[in-house]
Amino acid sequence: MPRNFELLVFDWDGTLMDSAAAISASLQSACRDLDLPVPSEEQARYVIGLGLNDAMSHILPGLAPSDYPRVVERYRIHFLRQDSATSLFPGVAEAVAELREEGFMLAVATGKSRRGLERALAATGLKSCFHATRCADEGYSKPHPGMLQGLMEELGAANERTLMIGDTTHDMEMARAAGVRRLGVAYGAHPREALLGYDPLACVDDFNDLRHWLAQNA
């Protein structure tokens, strides 16, 4: 049966890793530590997927960029304390390995730093499953299409044969800007209604639904 896609690009946090709650709580704690305005959970979840500097400008618009490193340092301290409590969504490790064995090219486009992604890939044992990865500190942050464009160029994939899979509007907007079709996952950081505003091919409710959709449509 002919495939519709050759390259599947996954977001990491909130799509493969159940880490949205830890990220939002860590952002709130960092602001609290420094006596800065503490974002609501909704505000903190909105910036998941952005690079840390872009996230800072959204949740702390009155803060000078020169002060971002202080917040980022506190954020990392809190997030690393929760590292052991974050894990892949059930079924992710098996599904990613199976998708690679089935012949798909697999990639990650994430708002994490390179250091953070490498740590997560090593901890989960998934590093060897992905053909390429892009992080926010290596170029443009989402929703700029640069990460997707770089992955497609590196792996020789056409945009019409590439699928972006993510849990935020930043993922959906990046894919649309790159001329790539998109699949929303409603179990992560952003609500279903927001994802549907970007005309995804579908919006799934859990990772098992995602795997089933890929089996039927990818």
Contact 196, 212 (CB under 8 A): no
Question: 87 exposed, middle or buried (CB, 10 Å; 0-12, 13-18, 19+)?
Answer: middle
Q: How many CB atoms lie within 10 A of CB 193?
A: 9
Is 13 assigned a catalytic role? yes
Beta bridge partners of 132: 107
Catalytic residue among 13, 18, 54, 167: 13
Contact 172, 200 (CB under 8 A): yes
In sequence order, which residues have a C-beta less than 8 Å from that of residue 105 and are 6 or more positions away? 6, 7, 8, 131, 132, 155, 157
H or E element that contains 58: helix 52-59
Catalytic residue among 11, 54, 167, 171: 11
- Distance between CA 56 and CA 182 in Å, rounded? 26
Contact 159, 152 (CB under 8 A): yes
- Distance between CA 180 and CA 153 in Å, rounded? 13
**Residues annotated catalytic, as ranges:** 11, 13
